[in-house]
Amino acid sequence: MSRVLSLLGKDRFAAVAAVVLALVVLCALFGPPLLGALAVEQNLRAVNLPPLSLDRGWAFVLGSDSLGRSVAARLVVAAGTTMAVAVPAVLLSLVVGSLWGMWAGYHRGWRETVSMRIADVILSFPSLLLAVVVLYVFTPGIANIIAVLAIARIPIYLRTARAEAVELRSRLFVDAARTFGTKDSTIIRRHILPIVAPTLLTVAAVDFCFVMLTESSLSFLGIGIQPPGMSWGLMVAQGRQELRTAWWIAVFPGLAIVLTTVSATVLAAWARIAFDPAQRWRLTVPGARKRSVEPTP
């Protein structure tokens, strides 16, 4: 752990990204209980206050919206909603997709064919269209949004895990385990999962951004999180009505989305190198990482 931290300290971008993500997680954990009341408190004498002024205290440092609610407090509380949707959706698709993919790739045959067909069908269809129909028929609550996002992203892990498992099943150590009479489920758990896991976790980190962006799009379009719930996408939608008079209501939640996704991307790219024993040295030698990216002419 301390080694990871010292590696992180050497890469300025990754360190900043880690701090931003830690802040978002802190907001998501402690924001709703601490600022939940302030975020919904209306104050019709403080409507559309401009940002960056401390006349009304720190709560209104990012201005207020058309009902006089503090934009800063709403941002913090909405971080909780965003995480409450994105984290379970990513975990669900990661677990289901990985297990399914390893199972399909290990057994091959009809199990693989059917699984790959299902993945093709889900992927060949725009995720938003799937969400539109499902969220129309069911009500757009948090659980349904998580389910839609998870189903839409399962194929990503399914394909990755299958490809790796197909390659691993012909390796000598798997053959050896099979000769000893090890059960298939044990081989997958003990011999395939540990090798596939780092790749899948990297995919999950990148996919986290996709899921977050999709959730905010859905909320923005009015088929995701519903008022009085709070989400960054929904806040942008609400600010859109006031764009001419109060630009800050739409700008800050969008910035929050961009900052979070950029940080997650940067940290995922860093983690891919840091957790790969063959590449970790690049982080300790200044400039080595940059040189490695350039192709030799």
Partner 1 sequence: MLAYLRRRVLSSALPLLVVILGVFFLARLTGDPTNLYLPLSATAQQRADFAARNGFDQPVLVQFVDYVGQVVRLDFGESLRTAQPAATAVLRAFPATLQLAGAAMVIAVLAALVVGSLAAYRPNSAADRAASFLSSAASSTPDFWFAIMGVLVFAVWLGWLPTSGTAGAAAWILPVVTLLIRPFGVLVQVVRGAMVTALSAPYVKVARSKGASERQVIFGHALRNAGAPVLTVAGDLAVGLVNGAVVVETIFGWPGIGKLMIDSILQRDFAVLQAAVLVTAVAIFLLNILIDVGYALLDARVRQGAMA
Is 16 near partner 1 (CB under 8 A)?
no
124 binds partner 1 (CB under 8 A): yes
Query: Which residues does 238 contact at the CB level (< 8 Å), separation at least 6?
Result: 65, 66, 227, 249, 250
* Other CB atoms within 10 Å distance of the CB of residue 95: 15
| The only residue of 92, 134, 193, 195 in contact with partner 1, by rule CB under 8 A | 134
Residue count, binding to partner 1 (CB under 8 A): 44
Structure tokens at 121: 């069908």
DSSP string, 17-29: HHHHHHHHHHHHH
Q: Tell me the residue type at 177.
A: A
Evaluate whether 122 touches 155 at the Cβ level (below 8 Å): yes
244 binding partner 1? (CB under 8 A): yes
179 binds partner 1 (CB under 8 A): no
* Residue among 93 and 188 whose Cβ is closer to partner 1: 93
Strand partners, 64: 70
Which tokens hold the place of 20?
């931003």
- Given the complex with partner 1, which of 192 and 218 has the nearer CB atom? 218
Binding part of the chain for partner 1, among 5-13, 34-42, 45-53, 122-130 by CB under 8 A, reads 122-130
Beta carbons within 8 Å of 262's beta carbon, 6+ residues apart: 17
Helix (H, G, I), strand (E, B) or coil at 137: helix
Residue 221 in the binding site for partner 1 (CB under 8 A): yes
Query: Any contact of residue 173 with partner 1 (CB under 8 A)?
Result: no
3-state secondary structure of 70: strand
Q: Which of 243, 280, 281, 284 binds partner 1 (CB under 8 A)?
A: 243
Q: Does 291 bind partner 1 (CB under 8 A)?
A: no
Residues that bind partner 1 (CB under 8 A): 117, 120-121, 124-129, 132-138, 209, 213, 216-217, 220-223, 233, 236-237, 239-240, 243-244, 247, 250-251, 253-254, 257-258, 261-262, 265, 294-295, 297
